[in-house]
Amino acid sequence: MEFTSGTAKQLNSYNESTYIELANYRYQVFVEKLGWELDTPEGFEKDQFDREDTVYIVSRDEEGAINGCSRLLPTHKPYLLGEVFPQLMNDFPLPCSKDIWEVSRLTTLDTKAAVGSKPDPKITTELAFKTLKVAKEHGAKHVVGVATLMIERLYRRLGLRCHRLGKPQIIDGYALVALSIDLQEQLG
């Protein structure tokens, strides 16, 4: 498995089509497979948090096809938990710091597999830990994110020590929770 990371501009410096491939992969996963109703062009998943300073992690299989991705955002600028899901903090203050980054859009779903298939745990583990390392390289001491309870359990099975930032809540039919990971505790 091969990983690349960087901003959209940096990803495209490796290969001109990397960011387009990433947006297409995200569309296939989040819109086509998971059925999220997102206001995004056909075949291209992008939202207001995909900015010039957004950092992406892309994994590719042996054939060079994208098989996973994640997105990192510093919390001193707009980010998903802060803008879309602040209620998950249960009246606690939202993280807002250059050393707290948010992880979002982390997935390793196989776009060619049948609906309902589960991600490969090996790919998920490698991508999750690579994402944490990239966050740390960018100055993060903690990462935060929104997750379903199923994903929270998966992270714990992967050995990630997640801390809840609030009580789980049902939003759009999903039990969601805000999580935090201390990178010093996790990565040493």
Produce one character per residue of 45-68: b if its CB has 16 or more CB atoms within 10 Å, e if not: bbbebbeeebbbbbbbeeeeebbb
Domain chopping of the chain, boundaries: 2-187
18 CB-near residues (< 8 Å, 6+ apart): 4, 11, 12, 58
> 3-class DSSP state for residue 174?
strand
pLDDT of residue 180: 96
pLDDT of residue 76: 97
pLDDT of residue 53: 95
Distance between CA atoms of residues 61 and 43, nearest Å: 21
pLDDT of residue 111: 85
Q: Are 4 and 21 in contact (CB under 8 A)?
A: no
pLDDT in tens, the chain (188 residues): 899 999 999 998 877 889 999 999 999 999 998 888 888 989 999 999 999 999 999 999 999 999 999 999 999 999 999 999 999 999 889 999 999 999 999 999 888 877 777 788 889 999 999 999 999 999 999 999 999 998 899 889 888 899 999 999 999 888 999 999 999 888 87
The domain made up of 2-187 is a member of CATH 3.40.50.300: no
Distance between CA atoms of residues 77 and 55, nearest Å: 13
